[in-house]
Amino acid sequence: MTFSQVNQDEGSDMNVVELKNNFQKRKIIKNLFLYGAMTNTDLGQFVKLSTPKIISLLNELKAEGLVEELGQGNSSGGRRPNLYGNKEDAFYIIGISINIYKTSVSIFNAKNQKVTDDHILTLTISHGTTIIDPIVEFTENVIREKQIPREKILGIGIEMPGMVDSETGINKTYMVSDQPVAEVFRKKFGMEVLIENDAKTRAFAELRFGLAHARQNVLAIHLDWGIGLGIIVNGKLYKGRDGFAGEFGHLPMVDNGILCKCGKQGCLETIASGTAIARMAKEGMATGRSTFLGELKDHDQENNEIRQVVQAATMGDQYSISILANVGHWLGKGLAYLIQIFNPELIILGGRMSEANQFILPPIQQSIQIFCNPELGNEIEIKVSELGSQAGIQGVAALFLEHVLDRN
């Protein structure tokens, strides 16, 4: 049994239809993908069925070549349970992470293992769709190189910054063309494509693999060049009517403040994002207010002012420290808003800027104390993401799988 491609003939593959109609089997596949090998009993936690029924479904999946037995698990004094897992080559998913200055591509097998090395492409994201061709070509090369059978690729999940509506496949901010971006990708690849905003894919990664796992109400802040927010509510990723929920970076914070690229003035992003740090660093250098920033600049020219400022701050550069303190202050005020609105159980800070945590966390805490109701603010748990650099691409690959398997 194989999965279908988006443009495959209808009915040419009976097995796909079969799986399509079997919600429970899809759920099993999904959980084995997300959480690895499991016993019958473990699966019972996810699919609410009796032991005999689950076993019969597993046997069918085994016969279909999607699942295999993987020896036995441990027991606390009794017969040892069989372990079941997806077969590595049951299917593949391509994950693409598009950032402002670079794009990376990974391929995951049915066990959610990365089967490719780190493939990074240096491309600057723009308004138009010019960067799509190089990404497609690059990805096709990776597929060919790794000899992934095309018919086993379920499709492609792509995360990107901007206001992304994954239903229509439109990004209102970047890569705008006469057709929805997802459609452009889909045509070039000839495969199913799902696009999603990067803050949301990272929140989803936290929900499935990270600190938000099995939690109900969590906010995941994505501190990058912009400021994103992924909202997890009742254990699900919340997207709002058009998928634009979480425009946290554009909350108006300063009256008559700096002009934001969104057209408004004084957005949180103008004073507390990676871009804001870069701007303030340049200002400091221009006016000679920093001891170390200028020197560091020479070492590293490629768009990582954030890291430069953090390094300078670590070395004791007062101006850099004040930049980060200021950023923390405003972020904290923004978080105070969110805490009062959502009463979340946990807030996760992730993204490029979390390198600066030691400098921004204290002012964040302080702002929360100042601006937040103590019943809410004192109880709040704030943690730094532990997922690392692969969060986004893992998140969007998993999101793609669920997108494919959850539709009825």
Partner DNA sequence: CAACTTTCGTTAAATATTTAAAAAGTTTTA
Partner DNA sequence: TAAAACTTTTTAAATATTTAACGAAAGTTG
Shortest distance (Å) from residue 350 CB to a copy of itself: 18
Interacting positions 36-65 with DNA (CB under 7 A) = 39-41, 48-53, 55
72 binds DNA (CB under 7 A): yes
Residues 306/274, Cβ–Cβ less than 8 Å? yes
Which helix (H) or strand (E) segment is 195 a member of?
strand 193-197
Selection from 250, 296, 294, 255 nearest residue 272 by Cα: 250
Site for DNA in 9-38 (CB under 7 A): 24
Nearer to a copy of itself, 63 or 341 (CB): 341
Say how many residues make up the chain: 408
Q: Which does 141 bind (CB under 5 to 8 A by kind): DNA, a copy of itself, none?
A: none
| Contact pick of 11, 14, 77, 298 for DNA (by CB under 7 A) | 77
Tell me phi and psi for residue 192, to 5 degrees.
Answer: -65, 140
Decide which of a copy of itself, DNA, none touches 264; Cβ closer than 5 to 8 Å per partner kind: a copy of itself
Virtual torsion, Cα 19, 15, 91, 394, nearest 10 deg: -20
Question: Which residue among 75, 113, 130, 389 contacts DNA (CB under 7 A)?
Answer: 75
Instruction: Output 231 or 391, the one with its CB closest to a copy of itself.
Output: 231
Give the number of other Cβ atoms within 10 Å of residue 214's Cβ. 7
352 neighbors 306 (Cβ within 8 angstroms) = yes
For 241, phi then psi, to 5°, come to -60, -50
Q: What angle do CA 347, 211, 324 make, to 5 degrees?
A: 45
The C-alpha atoms of residue 147 and residue 49 are separated, in whole angstroms, by 38
Determine how many CB atoms are found less than 10 A away from the CB of residue 10.
8
Residue 49 interacting entry, from DNA, a copy of itself, none, C-beta within 5 to 8 Å by type: DNA
Taking the least distance from each CB to a copy of itself, the nearer of 89 and 345 is 345
Choice between 1 and 115, CB closer to DNA: 1
Min separation Cβ 310 and a copy of itself, Å: 28
Of residues 294, 307, 306, 380, the one with CA closest to residue 340 = 380
Q: In a 3-state reduction of DSSP, which class is residue 74?
A: coil
Q: Taking CB under 7 A as the rule, which mask of x and - marks residues 81-120 in contact with DNA?
A: xx--------------------------------------
State in angstroms the smallest separation of the CB of 283 from a copy of itself. 24
Per the structure block, which two tokens stand in for 266? 């004084």
Least separation, in Å, of the C-beta of 49 and DNA?
4
Q: Which does 288 bind (CB under 5 to 8 A by kind): DNA, a copy of itself, none?
A: none
Report the partner that residue 16 touches, choosing among DNA, a copy of itself, none (CB closer than 5 to 8 A by kind): none
Residues that bind a copy of itself (CB under 8 A): 163, 172, 216-217, 229, 231, 233-234, 236, 238-248, 250-252, 262-264, 333, 336-338, 340-345, 371, 373-376, 379
Residue 149 interacts with, from DNA, a copy of itself, none (CB under 5-8 Å by kind): none
* Residues whose CB falls within 8 Å of the CB of residue 164, separated by 6 or more in sequence, listed in order: 170, 171, 172, 195, 196, 197, 200, 243
Using CA atoms, how far apart are residues 269 and 347, in angstroms rounded to an integer? 18
Distance CA 253, CA 359 (A): 21
Q: Binding DNA by CB under 7 A: which of 10, 11, 12, 76?
A: 76
Of residues 62 and 119, the one with the C-beta less far from DNA: 62
Q: Chain-centre distance of CA 286, in angstroms?
A: 36
Query: Is residue 358 a contact residue for DNA (CB under 7 A)?
Result: no
Of 80, 127, 150, 282, the residue at the interface with DNA (CB under 7 A) is 80
To DNA, the closest distance from the beta carbon of 68 in angstroms equals: 14
Contact 167, 194 (CB under 8 A): no
- Collapse the DSSP code of 109 into the 3-class scheme (helix H, G, I; strand E, B; otherwise coil) and give the result: strand
Q: Which is nearer to a copy of itself, 100 or 260 (CB)?
A: 260
Size of the site for DNA (CB under 7 A): 20
Residues in the site for DNA, rule: CB under 7 A?
24, 39-41, 48-53, 55, 72, 75-82
